[in-house]
Amino acid sequence: MPQPASPPYDAAARRHLARADPALARVIGEVGPIRFVHRRERFPALVRAIIFQQLAGAAAAAILARFVRAVGGDRFPTPAQVLAASDETLRAAGLSRGKIAYLRDLAGHVRDGSINFHRFPKMDDEEIIEHLTAVNGIGRWTAEMFLMFNLLRPDVLPVGDLGVRNAAGLLYGMPKAPTPGELRELGERWRPFRSAASWYLWQSLRIVTPDSAVSASPTSRKKAKK
Protein backbone atom coordinates (compact mmCIF):
# COMPACT_ATOMS: atom_id res chain seq x y z
CA MET A 1 0.00 0.00 0.00
CA PRO A 2 1.34 3.47 -0.88
CA GLN A 3 2.07 5.61 2.16
CA PRO A 4 1.29 9.32 2.58
CA ALA A 5 4.21 11.58 1.75
CA SER A 6 4.85 15.28 1.22
CA PRO A 7 4.70 16.60 -2.36
CA PRO A 8 7.80 18.36 -3.75
CA TYR A 9 6.23 21.79 -3.30
CA ASP A 10 5.38 21.29 0.39
CA ALA A 11 7.99 23.50 2.08
CA ALA A 12 7.70 26.34 -0.43
CA ALA A 13 3.90 26.23 -0.25
CA ARG A 14 3.85 26.40 3.54
CA ARG A 15 6.20 29.39 3.55
CA HIS A 16 4.18 31.25 0.94
CA LEU A 17 0.76 30.52 2.43
CA ALA A 18 1.86 31.40 5.97
CA ARG A 19 3.06 34.80 4.74
CA ALA A 20 0.10 35.45 2.46
CA ASP A 21 -2.76 34.38 4.73
CA PRO A 22 -2.72 34.61 8.57
CA ALA A 23 -5.84 32.46 8.90
CA LEU A 24 -4.35 29.70 6.81
CA ALA A 25 -1.07 30.10 8.69
CA ARG A 26 -2.89 29.01 11.87
CA VAL A 27 -4.19 25.90 10.12
CA ILE A 28 -0.71 25.09 8.83
CA GLY A 29 0.63 25.43 12.37
CA GLU A 30 -1.98 22.96 13.64
CA VAL A 31 -1.74 20.44 10.80
CA GLY A 32 1.96 20.51 9.90
CA PRO A 33 3.44 19.45 6.55
CA ILE A 34 1.27 18.40 3.63
CA ARG A 35 0.96 14.64 3.45
CA PHE A 36 -1.15 12.57 1.11
CA VAL A 37 -0.86 9.44 -1.00
CA HIS A 38 0.60 10.19 -4.43
CA ARG A 39 -1.35 8.11 -6.93
CA ARG A 40 1.08 7.53 -9.79
CA GLU A 41 -1.31 5.62 -12.03
CA ARG A 42 -3.07 7.33 -14.94
CA PHE A 43 -5.69 5.21 -16.75
CA PRO A 44 -6.47 3.15 -13.61
CA ALA A 45 -7.05 6.33 -11.59
CA LEU A 46 -9.66 7.59 -14.04
CA VAL A 47 -11.34 4.19 -14.24
CA ARG A 48 -11.49 4.14 -10.45
CA ALA A 49 -12.97 7.65 -10.37
CA ILE A 50 -15.74 6.64 -12.78
CA ILE A 51 -16.59 3.45 -10.88
CA PHE A 52 -16.69 5.24 -7.52
CA GLN A 53 -19.11 7.95 -8.72
CA GLN A 54 -22.32 8.11 -6.65
CA LEU A 55 -21.50 4.92 -4.74
CA ALA A 56 -20.54 4.24 -1.13
CA GLY A 57 -16.87 3.37 -0.76
CA ALA A 58 -17.31 -0.30 0.16
CA ALA A 59 -19.76 -1.00 -2.65
CA ALA A 60 -17.58 0.77 -5.21
CA ALA A 61 -14.46 -1.07 -4.04
CA ALA A 62 -16.23 -4.41 -4.43
CA ILE A 63 -17.34 -3.53 -7.97
CA LEU A 64 -13.84 -2.34 -8.85
CA ALA A 65 -12.32 -5.60 -7.60
CA ARG A 66 -14.80 -7.68 -9.64
CA PHE A 67 -14.17 -5.51 -12.71
CA VAL A 68 -10.39 -5.97 -12.45
CA ARG A 69 -10.69 -9.76 -12.02
CA ALA A 70 -13.21 -10.17 -14.84
CA VAL A 71 -11.45 -7.96 -17.40
CA GLY A 72 -7.78 -7.89 -16.47
CA GLY A 73 -7.25 -11.07 -14.46
CA ASP A 74 -4.32 -10.52 -12.13
CA ARG A 75 -3.54 -7.02 -13.50
CA PHE A 76 -5.46 -3.82 -13.95
CA PRO A 77 -7.22 -3.90 -17.34
CA THR A 78 -5.72 -2.03 -20.27
CA PRO A 79 -7.85 0.22 -22.49
CA ALA A 80 -7.84 -2.51 -25.16
CA GLN A 81 -9.16 -5.06 -22.66
CA VAL A 82 -11.93 -2.72 -21.53
CA LEU A 83 -13.01 -2.18 -25.13
CA ALA A 84 -12.89 -5.92 -25.84
CA ALA A 85 -14.92 -6.92 -22.76
CA SER A 86 -18.55 -7.76 -23.41
CA ASP A 87 -21.42 -5.84 -21.87
CA GLU A 88 -22.43 -9.03 -20.07
CA THR A 89 -19.01 -9.32 -18.43
CA LEU A 90 -19.07 -5.69 -17.31
CA ARG A 91 -22.65 -5.87 -16.03
CA ALA A 92 -21.81 -9.05 -14.11
CA ALA A 93 -19.10 -7.08 -12.30
CA GLY A 94 -21.81 -4.70 -11.10
CA LEU A 95 -21.37 -1.81 -13.51
CA SER A 96 -24.40 0.14 -14.65
CA ARG A 97 -25.13 0.72 -18.32
CA GLY A 98 -24.05 4.35 -17.95
CA LYS A 99 -20.72 3.50 -16.34
CA ILE A 100 -20.00 0.88 -18.98
CA ALA A 101 -20.45 3.59 -21.61
CA TYR A 102 -18.19 5.96 -19.65
CA LEU A 103 -15.42 3.37 -19.30
CA ARG A 104 -15.57 2.50 -22.98
CA ASP A 105 -15.42 6.19 -23.88
CA LEU A 106 -12.37 6.69 -21.66
CA ALA A 107 -10.66 3.59 -23.06
CA GLY A 108 -11.39 4.75 -26.60
CA HIS A 109 -9.89 8.19 -25.95
CA VAL A 110 -6.72 6.59 -24.56
CA ARG A 111 -6.42 4.00 -27.31
CA ASP A 112 -6.81 6.49 -30.15
CA GLY A 113 -4.38 8.93 -28.55
CA SER A 114 -6.79 11.81 -27.98
CA ILE A 115 -5.76 11.38 -24.35
CA ASN A 116 -2.01 10.80 -24.25
CA PHE A 117 -0.68 10.70 -20.69
CA HIS A 118 2.90 11.07 -21.94
CA ARG A 119 2.05 14.55 -23.22
CA PHE A 120 0.61 15.75 -19.92
CA PRO A 121 3.94 16.99 -18.47
CA LYS A 122 4.13 19.53 -21.32
CA MET A 123 0.50 20.66 -20.93
CA ASP A 124 -0.86 23.26 -18.54
CA ASP A 125 -3.65 22.47 -16.07
CA GLU A 126 -6.51 23.83 -18.18
CA GLU A 127 -5.36 21.91 -21.25
CA ILE A 128 -5.37 18.68 -19.26
CA ILE A 129 -8.80 19.45 -17.80
CA GLU A 130 -10.11 20.09 -21.32
CA HIS A 131 -8.75 16.76 -22.53
CA LEU A 132 -10.11 14.77 -19.58
CA THR A 133 -13.57 16.35 -19.53
CA ALA A 134 -14.00 15.45 -23.20
CA VAL A 135 -14.64 11.93 -21.84
CA ASN A 136 -18.24 11.20 -20.93
CA GLY A 137 -18.45 10.67 -17.19
CA ILE A 138 -15.41 12.78 -16.26
CA GLY A 139 -16.27 16.23 -14.94
CA ARG A 140 -14.08 19.13 -13.92
CA TRP A 141 -13.85 18.06 -10.25
CA THR A 142 -12.56 14.60 -11.22
CA ALA A 143 -10.00 16.20 -13.54
CA GLU A 144 -8.90 18.57 -10.76
CA MET A 145 -8.43 15.72 -8.29
CA PHE A 146 -6.35 13.92 -10.93
CA LEU A 147 -4.17 17.01 -11.32
CA MET A 148 -3.70 17.38 -7.57
CA PHE A 149 -3.13 13.80 -6.45
CA ASN A 150 -1.84 12.00 -9.55
CA LEU A 151 0.13 14.71 -11.32
CA LEU A 152 1.07 16.68 -8.17
CA ARG A 153 0.17 20.00 -9.78
CA PRO A 154 0.66 22.72 -7.12
CA ASP A 155 -1.83 25.37 -8.21
CA VAL A 156 -5.26 23.74 -8.54
CA LEU A 157 -8.26 25.31 -6.80
CA PRO A 158 -11.41 23.14 -7.03
CA VAL A 159 -13.95 25.94 -6.57
CA GLY A 160 -16.83 23.51 -7.07
CA ASP A 161 -15.78 21.35 -4.12
CA LEU A 162 -18.27 21.82 -1.26
CA GLY A 163 -15.72 20.75 1.33
CA VAL A 164 -13.27 23.45 0.30
CA ARG A 165 -16.02 26.07 0.13
CA ASN A 166 -17.51 25.14 3.50
CA ALA A 167 -14.07 25.15 5.11
CA ALA A 168 -13.31 28.59 3.66
CA GLY A 169 -16.61 29.92 4.97
CA LEU A 170 -15.83 28.69 8.48
CA LEU A 171 -12.19 29.76 8.46
CA TYR A 172 -12.91 33.30 7.34
CA GLY A 173 -16.08 33.78 9.39
CA MET A 174 -18.41 34.12 6.42
CA PRO A 175 -22.18 33.93 7.00
CA LYS A 176 -22.34 31.12 4.44
CA ALA A 177 -19.98 29.18 2.20
CA PRO A 178 -18.48 31.31 -0.57
CA THR A 179 -19.69 30.86 -4.11
CA PRO A 180 -17.23 29.40 -6.62
CA GLY A 181 -16.53 32.92 -7.87
CA GLU A 182 -15.94 34.24 -4.35
CA LEU A 183 -13.62 31.35 -3.57
CA ARG A 184 -11.70 31.95 -6.78
CA GLU A 185 -11.22 35.61 -5.81
CA LEU A 186 -10.22 34.65 -2.27
CA GLY A 187 -7.72 32.16 -3.65
CA GLU A 188 -5.75 34.72 -5.61
CA ARG A 189 -3.57 35.28 -2.55
CA TRP A 190 -2.65 31.58 -2.50
CA ARG A 191 -1.14 31.43 -5.99
CA PRO A 192 0.97 29.55 -7.06
CA PHE A 193 0.12 27.02 -4.34
CA ARG A 194 -3.67 26.76 -4.43
CA SER A 195 -3.50 22.95 -4.30
CA ALA A 196 -1.78 23.25 -0.92
CA ALA A 197 -4.33 25.82 0.27
CA SER A 198 -7.17 23.48 -0.77
CA TRP A 199 -5.57 20.60 1.11
CA TYR A 200 -5.23 22.69 4.27
CA LEU A 201 -8.84 23.84 3.97
CA TRP A 202 -9.94 20.19 3.85
CA GLN A 203 -7.79 19.47 6.90
CA SER A 204 -9.19 22.46 8.77
CA LEU A 205 -12.57 20.73 8.96
CA ARG A 206 -10.94 18.03 11.12
CA ILE A 207 -9.34 20.39 13.64
CA VAL A 208 -11.06 20.63 17.03
CA THR A 209 -10.56 24.14 18.36
CA PRO A 210 -11.22 25.35 21.93
CA ASP A 211 -14.21 27.45 20.82
CA SER A 212 -15.81 24.49 19.02
CA ALA A 213 -15.40 22.35 22.16
CA VAL A 214 -17.06 25.02 24.32
CA SER A 215 -19.94 25.45 21.91
CA ALA A 216 -20.60 21.71 21.70
CA SER A 217 -23.82 20.45 23.21
CA PRO A 218 -23.75 18.52 26.52
CA THR A 219 -24.69 15.37 24.62
CA SER A 220 -21.84 15.71 22.15
CA ARG A 221 -19.39 16.39 24.97
CA LYS A 222 -20.46 13.20 26.74
CA LYS A 223 -19.92 11.25 23.51
CA ALA A 224 -16.50 12.81 23.13
CA LYS A 225 -15.51 11.68 26.65
CA LYS A 226 -16.43 8.14 25.77
Task: List active site positions.
Answer: 161
**Half-sphere exposure in the Cβ direction for 182 (13 Å, CA):** 12
Other Cβ atoms less than 10 A from the Cβ of 187: the count is: 20
The answer to whether the beta carbons of residues 160 and 151 sit under 8 Å apart is no
Strand intervals (E) in 103-145: none
The answer to whether the beta carbons of residues 78 and 71 sit under 8 Å apart is no
| d(C-alpha 221, C-alpha 226), whole Å | 9
- How far from each other are the two terminal CA atoms of the chain, in whole angstroms? 32
